[in-house]
Amino acid sequence: MSYVDDVLAMIEKRDANEPEFLQTVREVLNSLRPMIEKNEEHYRKEALLERLTEPEKLHEFRVPWVDDNGQAHVNRGFRVQFNSAIGPYKGGLRFQPSVNLSVMKFLAFEQMFKNSLTGLPIGGGKGGSDFNPKGRSDAEIMRFCQSFMTELYRYIGPDEDCPAGDMGVGGKEIGYMYGQYKRIVGEYKNGALSGKPIPFGGSVGRDTATGYGATYFVEELFKDLGKTIKGTTFCLSGFGNVCWGATKKISELGGKVVAISGPDGYVYDPDGINTPEKIDYLVEMRNSRRDRVQDYSDKFTSAEFHAGQKAWGRVNADVYMPCAMQNDIRIEDAKRIDEEGHSKIIIEVANMPTTQEAVDFFLEKGYILAPSKAVNAGGVACSEFEMSQNAMKLSWTAEEVDEKLHRTMANIYHNITDAAKKYGMEGNMVAGANLAGADKIIQAMEGQGIC
Ligand code: 2IT
């Protein structure tokens, strides 16, 4: 058996109860074959893939907190510090009931390749909790964040590990966590967290960076396809921060977002989500913590709500952009998209939003599929810009940040398409992203000896 097969067999046995982690490891290792096979014995001797797939450190802790009625609760907190070969651990915190060790390890593993793709000096990490913010008051959120940080503080720092937001964690939560961190460590080290509000060290443009970055990636891809965002229709999923940023930039560039979704179903707005009132309402929906997309169609009569359904293959659009969470597009959704014949372009924005079966289906059918670890890297890139500004104790203008973000996304697009070409996988951006991301990490790991 090949080295990749041996390592996959070992991990499938050892981490058999971690389905999301296994899914991403299988995808990545399979696409690294052309690189590994060139020098297989060397990598085997160095246990390179065993080291690449094992987190450097893994922290799990109890998070006790008290709700507004005086009832105590206990949640599980995590921080996975996957790889620090190219920089301090970096990655978001997710507060969502589906969080568990497997989900944390999958997100941290993806993050390490994504961070490498940005070209910036950041390693990979991820954290969070199975805490559900839905329906919680501000006071409850604050107490939870303070309790979470009371454990997390020992593992983070500007040169050690810098968490940011993810699902369920925005500027408000990061602010509460930073306040608690500062009290415990007794120093103003605001580079220990990114995604902060602007008055205490946040970067302008961090809130829109993931969605804008994804749109800039599409712009770059469209140059090669001879298309423009202007006049193109987009079907998105989710209604959170990433979906909001993408919708804002797409509509600014003359494109039209016609669908978004939530846990309750999807909303179709044939007029487009393209006025400031509609776009701002997404923020209001998120801040309400109702976790309900039907609120949009209740407010805007141009929209129809479809309860309990996904928009995939049901909404006519030129581009499909999943912006919600993992495994959103499954094989049955992929087949429906194909049968309806709407769109041949899938732009992943959420982390791992397409199942492996659906990815294989799209690639076989000749779809253009852009992988999330490239497309959504603008968020973490801007987080690194925030770390840089904090370290220098100064702040950049919106124009400087946007220019850097633009350049980063264009570079990522060209690096992944070049890597695919270099290893004989031309046109396969999924493989290209894994190969380009891994290349730098592997070089860094090799340069630092067996560690
Ligand atoms: O998935 C992601 O890239 C994030 N949640 C953002 C990570 C970061 O450190 O900004």
In this prediction, residue 21 carries a pLDDT of 98
Mutate which of 383, 387, 388, 408 for ligand 1? The one with the most ligand atoms within 8 Å of its CB, which is 383
Distance 372 CA to ligand 1 centre (A): 12
- Residues 267-291: what's their mean pLDDT? 97
Q: Using the predicted structure, report yes or no on whether residue 443 has a pLDDT greater than 90.
A: yes
Which residues sit with their C-beta closer than 6 Å to ligand 1? 90-92, 111, 114, 164, 166, 194, 351, 376, 379-380, 383
In this prediction, residue 82 carries a pLDDT of 98
- Residues 31-43: what's their mean pLDDT? 96
What digits encode the pLDDT tens for the residues 217-254?
A: 999 999 999 999 999 999 999 999 999 999 999 999 99
Distance 37 CA to ligand 1 centre (A): 31
Distance 265 CA to ligand 1 centre (A): 26
Q: Which atom of ligand 1 is nearest to the CA of 165?
A: 5
**C-alpha span between 386 and 397 (Å, rounded):** 12
One-letter amino acid at 325 equals M
Torsion of CA 191, 144, 56, 439, to 10 degrees: -60
Phi/psi for 166 (5° steps) reads -160, -155
Torsion sign (Cα): 200, 203, 205, 209: negative
| pLDDT confidence tier of residue 341, bands split at 50, 70 and 90 | confident
Distance 71 CA to ligand 1 centre (A): 32
Q: Which atom of ligand 1 is nearest to the CA of 380?
A: 10
- Residues 102-109: what's their mean pLDDT? 98
| pLDDT confidence tier of residue 136, bands split at 50, 70 and 90 | very high
Q: Which domains does the chain have, with CATH numbers?
A: 3-188 (3.40.50.10860), 209-370 (3.40.50.720)
172 counts as catalytic = no
In this prediction, residue 234 carries a pLDDT of 98
Q: Using the predicted structure, report yes or no on whether residue 328 has a pLDDT greater than 90.
A: yes
Q: Using the predicted structure, report yes or no on whether residue 396 has a pLDDT greater than 90.
A: yes
| pLDDT confidence tier of residue 343, bands split at 50, 70 and 90 | confident
Q: For residue 296, give Cα distances in angstroms to 191, 227, 268, 308, 400.
A: 36, 30, 10, 15, 34
Phi/psi for 127 (5° steps) reads -155, -175
Mutate which of 166, 382, 384 for ligand 1? The one with the most ligand atoms within 8 Å of its CB, which is 166
What digits encode the pLDDT tens for the residues 285-322?
A: 999 999 999 999 999 999 999 999 999 999 999 999 99
Options 126, 248, 249, 256, the catalytic residue: 126
The share of the chain scoring above pLDDT 90, in percent, equals 99
**C-alpha span between 244 and 94 (Å, rounded):** 18
Specify whether the CB–CB gap between 355 and 378 falls below 8 A. no
What digits encode the pLDDT tens for the residues 261-270?
A: 999 999 999 9
Q: Which atom of ligand 1 is nearest to the CA of 163?
A: 9
In this prediction, residue 244 carries a pLDDT of 98
What digits encode the pLDDT tens for the residues 159-218?
A: 999 999 999 999 999 999 999 999 999 999 999 999 999 999 999 999 999 999 999 999
Q: Using the predicted structure, report yes or no on whether residue 96 has a pLDDT greater than 90.
A: yes
| pLDDT confidence tier of residue 342, bands split at 50, 70 and 90 | confident
